[in-house]
Each structure stands twice: as C-alpha cells, then as structure tokens.
Amino acid sequence: MKDEKAFSSIDLVGQCLIDEPRSLAFEKAIKKIVKPEHTVLDAGTGSGIMALFAARSGAKKVYALEFDKYVAKTALADFKDNNFKNKITLLRGDAKIFTFSKDLYFDVVVMEMLTTGMVDEFQVQAINNLHRQKVVNENTIFIPKLQETYLALAETRFNIYGFLIKMVKHLWNNLSQNQKVKMLSDRVLISSVDFSKHNNEDFSVILKIKVKRNGTFNSIYLSSVCFLTDNYKIKDTETLNSPVVVPLEEDINVKKGKYIKIKISYKYGGGYENLKVKIILK
C-alpha cells in the first residue's frame, strides 16, 4: 500500500499560526536577532508567518522553504497579500535533502519543525543538510538555538470511556485536564540538541533514575523546552513541545527509594513507532 498521508497538512499549520504565545515568542526572538544586512531562511514555512516576521523585522532577503504543495501555495499568496513578494522567495522542496543555490549563505535560520524530543519531525536532518551544503557556518544564528528534553517515570491512566487504550498521548494544555499522570520520579534531562550544529540523527541514552513515589511504572513522560535565543526560553504552548506520555508494554510496581535503569533510543523524526524503551534493571 502506498504510504498515504493520514491528515490534512493545513490544519496543523493553521493551529500553529493562531497559537499566539508561540508565534509572538518567535517574533520577539526574530526582531531581536534579524538585522538589515541579513539573509534569512525560514525552513518549513507553513503559513509563512516566520518569513513574514523576518521580512517585517527588516531582513535584506528571506527564503521560505516548504515541501507541501498546498501549504506552499498558501504561503506564496500570504507573501503577495502582504506586499513582501519581492523580499521573500518561496522554495519548494524537502529541507532534509534540498539543494540550495551555491551562492546562498544564511545569516539567520528560523526553523519551527519542532516536536517534543524531536521524535516526530525532521528538524535535525534539515539542519544537517544546511551544514552539508555549506549554506550556514559558525556565524549563522539559529532560532531556536537549542531544545532540551526531560524524562520522568510515570503512572498513566490509560482507561478511557470504559476501554483500555494504551497509546502515545500528547498532553496539549486544553485537552489534557482529565488525563491522570502521576510522576514517580523527578524529571531528568536526557538531551540537549544544539540546532546550530550538525547532530547525530540517532539518539540513545541509558538512565538510572531514583523512584520518588510508590506506584505502577507503566509509561515515560517526555517534555521539552526550547531556547529561541541564548537566554530566551519557551516551554510548551498549545502547538509546541507538548508533554507526551509513552506507554510501556509491562506494568512495573516500584517503591520509593529504588532505582530503575532504562535505555531510550530512537531516530530523530522517525515517529513514536521507532522509539524503544528497554528496562535494564527494575
């Protein structure tokens, strides 16, 4: 069977656009960083909002890259409607492999293809491609600059409407009030992805975590924060970096004071189907 896309591409893009805390935080960072002499790349431009922010902040030139045909058409219309069609050039293609013109260099890269722990989107690969193509260097400023991801042992109630449904849950603020998650440990930093660098595309870590409360360890709780600039941090918003619970295959009764040793591994952008949690010691 052909790997068809299951969802409309435009609805997430539209939700991102109207997520004001997220969008305005990016605008603040863009305004602070972008200077009149700068050439800016907005990769995964969606509605084009980040490219528009960069143009309005006075960038000399902005390139907006998008692989989805319909989304790209919408962004192009936005650039025209806002009289930025000369300043912003739309590029169509996959940021992981896109071939840029040899004479291009980006002073600033804005990239909001972000997900918690970078499990579900290809931002790491897209940035590696920019380094491979030498269109960025150590002077290029990346917005965001860094993503930190934290993990906690958790007990999650997977019963819903009288059924047991053990699936990955994104705990969006406005939907998660009834989702019961009991933290069984502190949150432990598991990764700091520096978006200004070339990164390994596989992630793996072994952790020894102290249990803080008695309970049934049946899931891991992942959460992320992004540093848009060196000292400007954004936590989760409605569409960015939502906490996620990932169910385990087994339920493990744990006691306060004990240690659990686990291995987490996944490929950035590979989705939750490729995330493995191995219990090494219980």
Ligand X SMILES: C[S@@+](CC[C@H](N)C(=O)[O-])C[C@H]1O[C@@H](n2cnc3c(N)ncnc32)[C@H](O)[C@@H]1O
Candidates 65-73, 138-146, 217-225, 253-261 — which segment interacts with ligand X by CB under 6 A?
65-73
Q: By CB under 6 A, is residue 9 in contact with ligand X?
A: yes
Cα separation, 222 vs 214, in Å, equals: 20
The total of other beta-carbon atoms located within 10 Å of residue 152's CB is: 20
Cα separation, 222 vs 191, in Å, equals: 11
Asked if 95 and 67 touch (Cβ cutoff 8 Å), the reply is yes
Q: By CB under 6 A, is residue 234 in contact with ligand X?
A: no
Rg of the chain over all Cα atoms, to the nearest angstrom:
20
Nearest distance, CB of residue 49 and ligand X, angstroms = 5
Candidates 92-100, 143-151, 195-203, 248-256 — which segment interacts with ligand X by CB under 6 A?
92-100
Candidates 59-67, 176-184, 185-193, 274-282 — which segment interacts with ligand X by CB under 6 A?
59-67
Beta bridge partners of 163: 160
Cα separation, 143 vs 57, in Å, equals: 14
Sole binder of ligand X in the list 53, 79, 122, 268 (CB under 6 A): 122
Sole binder of ligand X in the list 53, 63, 67, 268 (CB under 6 A): 67
Nearest distance, CB of residue 156 and ligand X, angstroms = 25
Q: By CB under 6 A, is residue 47 in contact with ligand X?
A: yes
Where do the DSSP E strands lie in 141-230? 141-143, 146-156, 159-160, 163-164, 169-170, 181-183, 188-194, 202-210, 215-229
Cα separation, 101 vs 82, in Å, equals: 26
Q: By CB under 6 A, is residue 50 in contact with ligand X?
A: yes
Sole binder of ligand X in the list 52, 54, 71, 260 (CB under 6 A): 71
Nearest distance, CB of residue 22 and ligand X, angstroms = 7
Positive or negative CA dihedral for 2, 97, 31, 145?
positive
Q: By CB under 6 A, is residue 16 in contact with ligand X?
A: yes
Q: By CB under 6 A, is residue 94 in contact with ligand X?
A: yes
Residues that bind ligand X (CB under 6 A): 9, 12-13, 16-17, 44-47, 49-50, 65-68, 71, 94-96, 112-113, 122, 126
